[in-house]
Amino acid sequence: MRKGLLNSGLLSSTSTGGNCIKLGVMAFNCSLGSTVTLDDRAWPMTWADNQSLARMADAAGFEALLPVGRWKGYGGESNFNNRSFECFTWAAGIAASTERIAVLATVHAPLVHPLAAAKQAATVEHISNGRFVLNLVCGWNRSEFDMFGIDMAGHAERYAYATEWLELVRRLWTDPDAFDYKGQFFAGKDIWSQPKPLQSPVPVMNAGSSPTGQAFSAAHCDMNFVMLRQKDEASDRQQIANLKSMAVTAGRQSQCWIHVYVVCRPTEREAREYLDAYVHERGDWDTAARMVTMFGLESDTLDAAVLEDFKFHFIAGHGGYPLVGTPGQVVAQMEKLSSMGVDGLLISWLDYLGECPYWIDEVLPRVEQAGQRGTP
């Protein structure tokens, strides 16, 4: 089934007319987007700008729009991500504002009951006419859990909880009759949800990067949002291959998507100077250092040495993979990522509305000429 998303191209393969490298935009539901900086050009985050960017990406043939699930900022001088739109209501509004592109909502399993999430997702499904994807996360930011008065479980238990959470949500999406449920974490009588989603099944993304998270994603999800370790190309390639192999072993096919931060200019010098200005000259290094420490303590994803090296990337684009240079250089980097097995790129910029048009005008035609994408 999945008519809506097959039409959007998100889940289609090259053999069914899909693009080799799929494109999305992420984190624009949050102030500053993905840049931990004091630069005046950083994303201010208004609803009008969210709509404008979503419509721009939709018209250009992008496949996905991903919001970040944030409940508070990180403090410090920039107070990175302090302002954010809640993901399900954001997805409903963005779905009503677009026509073809897949719209995701990020949900923290421990913070939203499965019954509520199933109903919210089905609502966005109908608003979007079958273009919804659930981005399920287990949570790692202890200060956000403290806001809810919820104790954050150990890493392994978070994924056991998410497994049962997703099982219950999927039953609510598909079971034609009311049912009783009693598991380790949830119990209910005469559980019921209508309307059902238009897609069957609804696609699920997960950002599991730890060994436990990878196993969960391989067994239960259609898309893995991967944080590449960026040690070297060989290790990144092996990381992607392992994730896809795990999914096949679990009897599934899973796409691998990564976050990329883009700095693209007519010359490489201009791109490097722009990056240097918002990272080295205006970057909020104190907040980035604190974020790296928080992430390392709670996520079980990257070791301390790698995280220390990631401070630059956290400021430049929240740990994303850098696409920096001229349009031709960026396309060459995209081709390399595609050859490594990356299926989709979730893009952030310092100035989304100012920089996305340059991507559409100068990068997309070259990607099409390189055979990585068809003309929308």
| More confident: 337 or 304 | 337
Pairing of β 187-191 and β 179-182 = antiparallel
Looking at every residue in the chain, the average pLDDT score rounds to: 91
Q: Given a cut of 90, is residue 133 above it in pLDDT? A: yes
* pLDDT score of 21: 95
* pLDDT score of 9: 75
Band (pLDDT 50/70/90 cuts) for residue 227 is confident
The pLDDT > 90 percentage for the chain reads 76
Q: Given a cut of 70, is residue 106 above it in pLDDT? A: yes
d(CA 159, CA 206): 11
Q: Do 154 and 210 contact (CB within 8 A), yes or no?
A: no
* pLDDT score of 3: 47
Q: Given a cut of 70, is residue 303 above it in pLDDT? A: no
The domain 3-369: what is its CATH number? 3.20.20.30
Averaged over 137-156, what is the pLDDT?
A: 87
Longest Cα–Cα distance in the chain? 63
Q: Given a cut of 70, is residue 295 above it in pLDDT? A: no
Task: Kindly give the interhelix angle for 211-220 and 233-249, rounded to the nearest 10 degrees.
Answer: 50
The pLDDT > 70 percentage for the chain reads 93
Band (pLDDT 50/70/90 cuts) for residue 307 is low
d(CA 312, CA 348): 15
Band (pLDDT 50/70/90 cuts) for residue 98 is very high
* pLDDT score of 296: 63
* pLDDT score of 230: 74
* pLDDT score of 7: 44
Band (pLDDT 50/70/90 cuts) for residue 219 is very high
Other beta carbons less than 10 A from residue 158's beta carbon: 22
Q: Given a cut of 50, is residue 313 above it in pLDDT? A: yes
* pLDDT score of 162: 96
Q: Do 319 and 313 contact (CB within 8 A), yes or no?
A: yes
Averaged over 167-191, what is the pLDDT?
A: 97
Return the domain boundaries, the chain: 3-369
Averaged over 262-288, what is the pLDDT?
A: 96
* pLDDT score of 14: 65
Judge if pTM exceeds 0.75.
yes
Q: Given a cut of 60, is residue 74 above it in pLDDT? A: yes
The answer, yes or no, to whether the previous bond of 322 is cis (omega within 30 of 0) is no
Q: Do 141 and 105 contact (CB within 8 A), yes or no?
A: no
d(CA 147, CA 137): 17
DSSP notation for 245-271: HHHHHTT---EEEEEEEEEE-SSHHHH
Band (pLDDT 50/70/90 cuts) for residue 301 is low
Element (H, E) at 322: strand 321-325
* pLDDT score of 100: 96
Averaged over 131-146, what is the pLDDT?
A: 91
Task: Kindly give, in sequence order, each residue whose CB lies less than 8 Å from that of residue 309, ignoring residues fewer than 6 positions away.
Answer: none
CA–CA distances in Å: residue 226 to residues 103, 160, 240, 285: 19, 20, 8, 24
Averaged over 249-265, what is the pLDDT?
A: 95
Give the model confidence (pLDDT) of 30-55 as tens digits: 999 999 999 999 999 999 999 999 99
Averaged over 303-313, what is the pLDDT?
A: 70
Other beta carbons less than 10 A from residue 335's beta carbon: 16
Q: Given a cut of 70, is residue 89 above it in pLDDT? A: yes
d(CA 241, CA 331): 22
The answer, yes or no, to whether the previous bond of 327 is cis (omega within 30 of 0) is no
DSSP H helices, the chain, are 3-8, 47-60, 87-97, 114-128, 142-148, 155-174, 211-220, 233-249, 268-276, 285-299, 304-309, 311-317, 327-339, 352-358, 364-369
